[in-house]
């Protein structure tokens, strides 16, 4: 009975067969979000916004009201939905190309305004859907399709963007945390962070942002075990885990 409870499918998840590659973190995150929605009892109130990228069909996996945003415009769409439906719990789900590249302006300004929304940011340091090009979060020295010799700031390729830290510097956001999904412990921690982010919105506290380091074994050209190890040993050096801002530490 205990094992059955552990592996029961959340009510908010559909029976759609996954399209994600083996080892991709999106599937894990989808389940985490579904479990949080079930536990908070907000299935009939929540509205999610899917990005352009690998999670473009996220609406296939969650049995909730969903909206599709143009590339990078999730925060803008979320703003409109929340203002039109202040009773709804609105969250955006975005990858690094969608949020940190074309959508950075929308992201920063929504955060700076303190929009009462929740953003879940999936950072896998590459453009996964379009072939593994260099992303705003690609690490220095990391090989991609468009940085075949490794990302090199001396070639005007810039440095990776630490988005969680950027958001935390703004006055309005109430909660900013970076997590990962490489182990049982880290999955539970990510679930805790996302649940808190939703809870803060439910209580009308303000804008919340959860960044999640996630693997892309297919475009990193390594297996899933190696991908998780690379996140833990390399990505976290530049993208440290932890809470960067929390105006309501008493809320768990």
Tokens 């809320």 belong to which residue?
Answer: 251
pLDDT of 3 above 80: no
Q: Where are the beta strands (DSSP E) in 70-133?
A: 89-95, 118-123
Burial degree of 27 (CB within 10 A; 0-12, 13-18, 19+): middle
Question: In whole angstroms, what separates CA 50 from the centre of its chain?
Answer: 11
Neighbour-count burial for 7-19, b at 16+ CB within 10 Å, e otherwise? eeebebbeeeeee
- Domains of the chain by start residue, with CATH: 2-13+23-246 (3.40.50.970)
> Stretch 95-115: mean pLDDT, rounded?
96
80 touches 67 (CB < 8 A): no
Split at pLDDT 50, 70, 90, the class of 7 is low
pLDDT digits (tens, 9 = 90+) for 9-50: 999 999 999 999 999 999 999 999 999 999 999 999 999 999
pLDDT exceeding 70 applies to what percent of the chain?
A: 97
Please tell me the predicted confidence (pLDDT) of residue 6.
Answer: 55
Neighbour-count burial for 130-153, b at 16+ CB within 10 Å, e otherwise? eebebbbbbbeebbbeebeeebee
Split at pLDDT 50, 70, 90, the class of 73 is very high
What is the DSSP track for 30-66?
HHHHHHHHHHHT-TTTEEEEE-SSTTTTGGGTB-SEE
Q: Is 170 helix (H, G, I), strand (E, B) or coil?
A: coil
pLDDT of 4 above 70: no
Average predicted confidence (pLDDT) for the chain: 95
CA pair distance 36, 10, nearest whole angstrom: 9
Q: Residue 106: which of 82, 58, 71 has the closest Cα?
A: 71
Please tell me the predicted confidence (pLDDT) of residue 1.
Answer: 41
pLDDT digits (tens, 9 = 90+) for 109-140: 999 999 999 999 999 999 988 888 999 999 99
Please tell me the predicted confidence (pLDDT) of residue 129.
Answer: 82
Q: Where are the beta strands (DSSP E) in 186-247?
A: 208-213, 242-246
The DSSP bridge pattern shows strands 242-246 and 175-180 to be antiparallel
């Amino acid at each position: 009975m205990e094992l059955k409870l552990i592996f029961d499918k959340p009510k908010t998840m559909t029976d759609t067969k996954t399209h994600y590659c083996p080892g991709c973190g999106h599937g894990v995150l989808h389940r985490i979000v579904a479990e949080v929605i079930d536990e908070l009892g907000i299935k009939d109130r929540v509205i999610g916004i899917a990005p352009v990228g690998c999670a473009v069909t996220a609406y296939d996996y969650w049995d909730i009201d969903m909206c599709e945003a143009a590339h990078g415009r999730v925060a803008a769409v979320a703003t409109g939905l929340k203002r039109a439906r202040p009773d709804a719990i609105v969250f955006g789900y975005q990858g690094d190309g969608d949020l940190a590249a074309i959508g950075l302006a929308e992201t920063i300004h929504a955060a700076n305004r303190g929009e009462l929304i929740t953003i879940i940011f999936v950072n896998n340091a590459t453009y996964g859907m379009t072939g593994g090009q260099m992303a705003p979060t690609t690490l220095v020295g990391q090989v991609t399709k468009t940085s075949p010799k490794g990302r090199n700031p001396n070639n005007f390729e810039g440095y990776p963007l630490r988005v969680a830290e950027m958001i935390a510097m703004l006055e309005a956001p109430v909660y900013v945390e970076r997590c990962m999904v490489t182990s049982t412990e880290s999955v539970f921690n990510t679930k805790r962070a996302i649940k808190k982010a939703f809870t803060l919105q439910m209580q009308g506290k303000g804008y919340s942002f959860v960044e999640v380091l996630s693997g892309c074994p297919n475009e990193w050209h390594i297996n899933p075990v190696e991908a998780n190890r690379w996140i833990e040993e390399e990505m976290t050096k530049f993208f440290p885990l932890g809470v960067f801002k929390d105006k309501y530490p008493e809320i768990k």
